[in-house]
Amino acid sequence: MNTSLSPRTVGIFLGVAYGILIRVSWELDELKNVGDLVTISFMFLLPMVIGYIRVHFELKVIPELTKRKAIVIAWQPIFVFLLASVVTLLEGSICVVIALPAFMFFASIGGVIAIYLNRIFRKRKQQTLLSVAFLPILLAPVELNFLHLSKTYEVSNSIVIAAPASVVWSQLANVEPIKADEWSCSLTQLIGVPKPIAANMVVGDGDMVGAVRTSTWQKGVEFNEIITRWQPNKALLYRFDIDPNRIPDHALDKHVKLGGEYFSPLFGGYEIEEDGNGHTILHLKTTLLDNTNFGFYSRIWGELIFQDFHQSLLHLMKQRAERISHPARTNPEQSLAEQFCLS
């Protein structure tokens, strides 16, 4: 009985093994100048190599493999690799969700490249495979030492509230404990980002600039916001004062940890505007620091996550302010999605 592994199985196994080897190695302190997980080499080149390996071995079985099929089968080791990363606690759900689209896309590119290079270098397929496998390893040190794409950008959202500005303002400085049914179902909640619980500060009669507002989230997350502008019924702005040591390791993946090495909010706050019809427009903005080299990809995720979070927070403020201004109103029934989030 023939017990040898098929080329297809070998392709999946070697792709996953290559990914785990790089993943574990680049996490070691001894190799911090050689490779890092928050690099182009890991996020984009690694999945390209994994996809290349998978299709390289598939071509041994189907020499005339189409590009369409190569694009799809290149995903197989990617799914196994990410699943193994979660099961072994190498990665948390947030990082996996963020990485998945990029990994699938670049694995497909690697699969298509494998078709072309195997046709061009018919007699040197193994040497070509090794050359491709060494690409991330060779380029990562160059990236770490010479490529720094740190940037800041602002995310802002607004909501119209059927309540006076004074009522809306009363909800901002101190946020009473948030009940489960007050927080709308959101992407951030589904991917594992802790929900806010409350925010507290001591409010006096004078200028509150320099006062400290403490925000508390689930999983023991706590950080301060130092007031930089205090204009009753107009604006409450602050800068974030986040001590990474006050963010438990289990609360957020360390690569997206608030106040961490790669990603952190810098400034934020609320601004209030009256529309002349008895309604109030509440604006919420956050300025973010992105220390990754992912460019537009990390910005897409940063804006998506913070806009989603902003919308949930603004919806909470709207719900509470309108309940005060219109106590006779009843809340609409929860959607199925919201019921799922509460379950």
SS3 content of the chain, % helix, strand, coil (to 5): 50, 20, 30
Q: Quick one: pLDDT at residue 202?
A: 81
Q: Quick one: pLDDT at residue 215?
A: 95
Using CB atoms within 10 A of its CB, is residue 130 exposed (0-12), middle (13-18) or buried (19+)? exposed
Q: Identify the residue whose tokens are 């301060």.
A: 224
Q: Quick one: pLDDT at residue 255?
A: 74
Question: According to DSSP H, which parts of 93-186 are helical?
Answer: 93-120, 125-133, 135-146, 165-169
Q: Quick one: pLDDT at residue 7?
A: 86
pTM of the model: 0.87
Crossing angle (nearest 10°) for helices 46-61 and 93-120? 50
CB of 161 closer than 8 Å to CB of 282: yes
What Å distances lie between residue 190 and 71, 275, 309, CA to CA?
Answer: 28, 34, 12
Q: Quick one: pLDDT at residue 189?
A: 82
In 162-300, which ranges are E strands? 196-200, 212-217, 222-231, 235-241, 263-274, 280-290
Q: Report the alpha-carbon distance of residue 105 to residue 139 in Å, rounded.
A: 20
Mean pLDDT per 10-residue interval, the chain, length 343 residues = 74 96 92 89 97 96 94 97 90 90 98 95 91 96 89 96 96 93 82 90 81 93 94 96 83 75 91 90 96 90 93 95 81 49 52
Q: Quick one: pLDDT at residue 340?
A: 47
- The count of other CB atoms within 10 Å of the CB of residue 94 is 19
Q: Quick one: pLDDT at residue 277?
A: 83
Cα–Cα nearest to 106, from 46, 54, 27: 46
